[in-house]
Each structure stands twice: as C-alpha cells, then as structure tokens.
C-alpha cells in the first residue's frame, strides 16, 4: 500500500469520526475507517473496563460472523484471556518504547484467545493495535481479513499503530466535547440538569406524546425559606440547602424510570417524566414534600404537578404544560400546602394558568397572551384620579402577592 493511499486513509478516518454525532456513529466510523485503511473485511473497537477487568466490545463493523451484533450489549472478554493488553504494554513502556500493534493468524501454533476467535469465526488473520489515551491503555482496535486474503505484515501492524493513534485523538476530542455538552446542560451547584436541558427534553417529550400518546408529566417545586436562610446564615449555607434538596429530588425521581431531575434556577426545581402514570408522579411528589419538610433549616417545598394523564385540556405546546405545573406550584405556595397541587384535580389551576393577565394581574404565566387594555370608564364628578374603580375584591392567591421574578423557563423560546 503506497504512502499516498495510507495518507488518504488517515484523512478519511479522521473526517469520518469528526462527522459523527453520537457515540455509536463515532465507534462505527473508527472501526470502518481503520478496516478500510488496512484493507480488511472486519473491524472492531473495544474498551478496557479496568474496574471490571474486561474488554468490552463497542462495535463490530464490516462482514460480521454469525451471532455477532453491530453494537453488542454484552460482548465482553476477561482481560486475563488477553494479557497482552496489559503485559505487552507494560513491558514495552517500561523499556521506553511505544505501544505497537501485533499480528495473529488462525494458523499460529500457540492457541491464544484471539487465534481461537479467528478459527471460530472463519477468519484468517488479525492485527491488534492498542489505543492509548492520556498515557494509559484505553482499549484496542482490531481488524481482520478472511482466510483467502494475504496475511497482515509488519508494515500493516505499524500502520495500524498510526490508525490507533488517530482514533485515540478522536476519542480525546469526543470526550472534551462531551464534557462541554455536560457543562452546557448541567447545573454547576447541584449537578442536576439545568433549564436548557429541560427545554430540550420537554420539547422531545411533547413530540412523543403527540406521536404515541405517552404520558408526559412535569413536577415543578419551589424550595421554601431559602431567602431567610441566606439572610440569616449566609449564602454558603443556602447553597448547601440547595444541594441537599437537589439530592432529595434526585432520590425521589429515581422511582420514576427515565425521570429528568433539574434545577431551573434560584430555588426552583423540576422533575420531567415520560411514561409513568400521573398517579405515580403524584405519589413521588407527595414523598418529595415529606422529605423536603425534614431538611434542616428549610421550610418545606411548594409543589405543583401537571400531567397529560390528567384532564388538563388540549396541549398545544410544551409551554402550556409548564404553565400548568407552574400555576399548580404557585397555588400550593399561596395555600402553604404541605402536599402537591395537581392541575386537572384542582379546579382553580387550569383557570389560573389560562387566564390572560390583565392590568391588575401581577403574575404573568409563561407564554400567556397579552390582554388588550380595557377602555377607561367615565368617573363621577369630583372623584380623584387616584381612587380605585369600584371593582370586586382583588384576585386571591398568587395573583395578589406582587410580581415574583419571571421563571427561568420564560426567557424566550426553547433552543431548536
């Protein structure tokens, strides 16, 4: 294989990995690109799980044998069956060398685990290249040829070492991007998801609800007493209270498969679920209220729930579900309720969420349409312009408590 051909193979491998959008796409691109670069028919990428003492196959690409899956869930091999991944690397590096690839064939007299694998799957030879990341063996790149093909040479093994280094660089880049992604979707104080993650997941959940009717539920809660704790004990103690409540929320949410626990900002948190019934979510909300009331220094939590499993009316957008949960939470806070308020089960929540805000309505729910200004009524002679018009009593509950800060999910449309 000429130098130009190999250079093009390296470029194609790097480009294929860079174009991947998911881990599986990346693994496939790494295995296929290396397989094509080495003129093989089968390629695999495996990771060394040190804590479990095994090699786990991430992808089988190319011409797979019977029983081989492209993305196997449980194809693993004890490392002691392939000691070269540790012993060979240790011996090579101890002498100041570099991790080199090696070749094995089905006709080798020493029946190693790889030789046995070649024979069992009807392959003729393989080249194995260690993948080294941050100075440690991360896993291996494996490329095979059929029995009728020319066996791999020492030059092929040297090129496999180069390809493994390219794959390692791609993995390092992917890890950095994953870390950035986690930071972008994670609340730094509690380690829970953040507003951006909720926006994205909520849009996806509503699409699934429209597609197959999956139950989507949103639990929104507000930690009571945080301002008092900050003013009395300092913000460091307030931060610890937020962290502890985040742990309680995560623990309760673990009862609901696939639940997303998030801190929306300030003292506001939420749980988003797809699949569990409304009753299951309400039961978790009740447990959350009990556990939050037991937190030292805290004053419990105001909790609201909205679920497509309850009679909440048509769901035109993800924002409506949030407004309903938000309204339920504010109703719970106004009533100082020790239990969650549930939209569709409390007659006032839906009216509160859907009512357009007027001149005297202080609370503006998310995405609520603006209300046309009412024309001024003629005033009796002699009346002061500062006198209130003779309307009925002011609205009850959160509408009369002054303008709380806009919720963290009300600052513009969700990211596309």
Taking alpha carbons only, the member of 223, 232, 229 closest to residue 192 is: 223
**Half-sphere CA count of 381, side-chain side, radius 13 A:** 0
Strand extents, DSSP E, 50-160: 54-62, 76-78, 102-105, 125-133, 136-145
Note whether 106 and 141 are within 8 A (CB): no
pLDDT top residue among 180 and 382: 180
pLDDT for the residue numbered 97: 52
Tokens representing 128 are 């194995």
SS3 308: coil
State yes or no: pLDDT of 94 exceeds 50.
no
Which H or E run contains 272? strand 268-274
pLDDT tens string 319-331: 999 999 999 999 9
Share of the chain above pLDDT 70, in %: 80
| pLDDT (mean) for 12-19 | 95
State yes or no: pLDDT of 373 exceeds 60.
no
Tokens representing 280 are 């299951």
Domain boundaries along the sequence of the chain: 3-183, 195-370+394-400
Range in 115-129, 347-361, 378-392 with the lowest mean pLDDT: 378-392
Give the pTM: 0.53
pLDDT for the residue numbered 136: 79
**Do 3-183 and 195-370+394-400 agree at the fold level?**
no
Q: If pLDDT is split at 50, 70 and 90, which confidence band does 350 have?
A: confident
pLDDT tens string 138-150: 889 999 999 999 9
Which of 65-69, 90-94, 386-390 is predicted most confidently?
65-69
Q: If pLDDT is split at 50, 70 and 90, which confidence band does 367 have?
A: very low
| pLDDT (mean) for 280-293 | 95
Instruction: Tell me the pLDDT of the chain averaged across its residues.
Output: 82
| pLDDT (mean) for 96-102 | 69
List, in order, residues 6 or more apart from 162 with CB less than 8 Å away.
Answer: 6, 10
Residues in the chain: 416
Looking at 3.30.70.270, 3.30.450.20, 3.30.1370.10, 3.40.630.30, the CATH number of the domain 195-370+394-400 comes to 3.30.70.270
Tokens representing 206 are 């509503």
pLDDT for the residue numbered 1: 60
pLDDT for the residue numbered 175: 84
pLDDT for the residue numbered 384: 34
> Does the domain made of 3-183 have the CATH classification 3.40.50.300?
no
């Amino acid at each position: 294989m000429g130098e130009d051909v190999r250079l093009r193979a390296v470029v194609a491998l790097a480009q294929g990995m860079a174009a991947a959008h998911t881990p599986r796409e990346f693994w496939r691109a790494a295995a296929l690109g290396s397989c094509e670069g080495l003129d093989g028919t089968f390629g695999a990428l495996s990771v060394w799980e040190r804590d479990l003492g095994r090699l786990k196959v991430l992808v089988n690409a190319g011409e797979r044998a019977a029983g081989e899956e492209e993305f196997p869930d449980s194809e693993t091999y004890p490392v002691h069956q392939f000691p070269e991944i540790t012993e060979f690397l240790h011996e090579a590096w101890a002498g100041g060398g570099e991790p080199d690839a090696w070749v094995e064939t089905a006709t080798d007299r020493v029946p190693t685990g790889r030789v046995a694998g070649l024979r069992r799957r009807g392959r003729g030879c393989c080249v194995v290249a260690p993948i080294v990341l941050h100075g440690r063996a991360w896993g291996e790149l494996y490329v095979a040829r059929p029995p009728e093909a020319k066996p791999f040479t020492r030059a092929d093994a040297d090129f496999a070492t180069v390809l493994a280094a390219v794959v390692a660089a791609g993995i390092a880049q992917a890890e950095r991007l994953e870390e950035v992604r986690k930071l972008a979707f994670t609340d730094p104080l509690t380690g829970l998801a953040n507003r951006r993650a909720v926006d994205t997941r909520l849009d996806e959940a509503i699409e699934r609800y429209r597609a197959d009717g999956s139950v989507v539920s949103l639990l929104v809660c507000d930690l009571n007493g945080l301002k008092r704790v900050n003013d009395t004990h300092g913000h460091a103690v307030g931060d610890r209270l937020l962290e502890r409540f985040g742990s309680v929320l995560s623990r309760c949410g673990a009862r609901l498969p696939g639940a997303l626990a998030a801190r929306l900002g300030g003292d506001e948190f939420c749980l988003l679920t797809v699949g569990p019934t409304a009753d299951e979510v309400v039961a978790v909300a009740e447990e959350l209220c009990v556990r939050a009331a037991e937190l030292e220094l805290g004053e419990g939590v105001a909790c609201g729930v909205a679920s497509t499993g309850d009679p909440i009316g048509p769901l035109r957008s993800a924002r409506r579900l949030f407004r309903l949960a938000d309204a339920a939470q504010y109703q719970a806070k106004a009533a100082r309720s020790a239990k969650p308020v549930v939209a569709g089960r409390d007659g006032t929540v839906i009216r509160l969420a859907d009512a357009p805000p007027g001149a005297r309505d202080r609370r503006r729910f998310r995405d609520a349409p603006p209300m046309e200004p009412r024309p001024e009524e003629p005033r009796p002679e002699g009346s002061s312009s500062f006198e209130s018009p003779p309307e009925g009593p002011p609205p009850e509950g959160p509408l009369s408590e002054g303008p709380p800060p806009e919720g963290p999910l009300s600052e513009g449309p969700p990211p596309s």
